[in-house]
């Protein structure tokens, strides 16, 4: 079990290192991840604005983060839930697979994302 926890800490550290590098790079240069949906269709997808929202959160500007993408808090907590559940499952069983939330929540989340994509393009949010 200690070996598994050590592995998670190392992987988490590597991911955190690259996130910090990406954050500093994006913050200094203004170059973020281009959205393929927006580039192809000229419409905002349900995730457009998340990079700017993360950067705003890192600067403790939570209202600004919400303005970039109103669905960002739900997306963030869904991601955290999935990561934590996967890590806990890995610690308990040693199995390396992604533990997703229950099916009903996945369906609700997917429908919410699609509705948000439609609404934000109709209202130009």
Q: What is the pLDDT of residues 26-46, one digit of tens each?
A: 888 878 778 898 899 999 998
List own/partner pairs for 6-9 with CB under 8 A and 24 or more apart.
8/87, 8/90, 8/91
Alpha helices in 1-125 (DSSP H): 2-29, 36-41, 50-58, 62-68, 72-93, 103-122
- Residue 6: give the domain boundaries: 2-122
Structure tokens at 29: 């240069």
Q: What is the pLDDT of residues 69-95, one digit of tens each?
A: 999 999 999 999 998 888 888 888 888
Query: How much is the average pLDDT of 56-77?
Result: 92
pTM given for the model: 0.77
Q: How many domains does the chain have?
A: 1
């Amino acid at each position: 079990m200690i070996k598994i926890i050590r592995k998670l800490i190392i992987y988490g550290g590597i991911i955190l290192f690259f996130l910090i590098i990406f954050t500093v790079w994006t913050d200094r240069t203004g170059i973020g991840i281009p959205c393929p949906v927006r580039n192809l269709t000229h419409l905002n997808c349900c995730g457009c604005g998340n990079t700017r929202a993360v950067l705003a959160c890192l600067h403790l500007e939570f209202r600004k983060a919400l303005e970039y993408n109103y669905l960002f808090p739900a997306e963030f907590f869904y991601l955290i839930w999935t990561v934590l559940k996967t890590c806990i499952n890995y610690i308990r069983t040693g199995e390396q697979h992604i533990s997703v939330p229950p099916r009903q929540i996945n369906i609700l989340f997917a429908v919410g994302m699609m509705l948000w994509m439609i609404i934000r393009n109709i209202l130009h949010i």
